[in-house]
């Protein structure tokens, strides 16, 4: 099978990590050739971006879509993942968004579902009947128990532990080292702070922090 020409949306640290993961997959399976990065607005390039690898903006991407057959989101903010996916999918349908699964990610492929555009980083451990929604991301060293469900565009940050039967809604962020106890629900666009322990359902759009996790109060 021919290698696919892959372009990564974003040019910062997360994009560089996605490039590394794609290269690791390519070393194992000869699947992808990373062409470079594209960003929404070339005027926003900063010192943290890999300027030398930026090919152009989203208009450049559309102009060259005949030579591009794979895209990946290199952005760690759930709301931006959802926004960019919605903006680009009319021109680049799901077949153009491969799931990128690092060779060191562990899960049961017979019972788990990995949606298009999903990213499973090294050290991810999932068990059985886990669903990774389209454009979701499970970052390094995160764990997910049986029947966990990660919604579209949601991001599970490094070292987080998602219990069995947990439902993470669309566009959520689970901070580094957080714990979501089994069968709890995290509502759409909610944020679980780093190190928090979720013992109750998290309402839609809210931010919870602490042990046990409680809604964040304004100072």
Catalytic option among 64, 116, 135, 146: 146
| Residue 17 φ/ψ, nearest 5 degrees | -65, -40
Q: Are 78 and 155 in contact (CB under 8 A)?
A: yes
Do 146 and 162 touch, CB atoms closer than 8 A?
no
The structure tokens listed for 32 are: 């992808």
Q: Is 146 a catalytic residue?
A: yes
Q: Which of 135, 154, 98 is nearest to 144 (CA)?
A: 154
CB atoms inside a 10 Å sphere around CB 79 = 12
Least Cα distance to 178 among 142, 136, 203, 153 occurs for: 142
Which residues carry out catalysis? 146
């Amino acid at each position: 099978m021919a290698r696919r020409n892959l372009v990564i949306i974003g040019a910062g640290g997360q994009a560089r990590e996605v490039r590394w993961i794609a290269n690791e997959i390519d070393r194992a399976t000869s699947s992808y050739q990373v062409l470079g990065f594209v960003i929404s607005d070339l005027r926003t390039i900063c010192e943290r971006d890999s300027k030398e690898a930026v090919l152009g903006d989203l208009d450049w991407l559309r102009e060259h879509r005949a030579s591009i057959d794979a895209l990946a989101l290199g952005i760690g903010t759930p709301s931006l993942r959802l926004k960019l996916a919605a903006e680009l999918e009319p021109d680049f349908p799901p077949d153009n968004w491969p799931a990128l699964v690092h060779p060191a990610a562990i899960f049961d492929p017979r019972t788990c579902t990995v949606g298009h555009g999903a990213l499973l980083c090294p050290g991810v451990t999932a068990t059985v009947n886990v669903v990774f929604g389209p454009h979701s991301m499970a970052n390094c060293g995160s764990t997910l128990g049986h029947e966990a469900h990660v919604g579209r565009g949601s991001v599970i940050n490094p070292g987080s532990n998602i219990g069995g039967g947990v439902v993470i809604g669309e566009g959520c962020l689970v901070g580094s080292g957080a714990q979501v106890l089994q069968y709890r629900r995290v509502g759409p666009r909610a944020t679980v702070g780093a190190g928090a322990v979720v013992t109750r359902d998290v309402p839609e759009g809210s931010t919870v922090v602490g042990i046990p996790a409680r809604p964040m109060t304004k100072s």
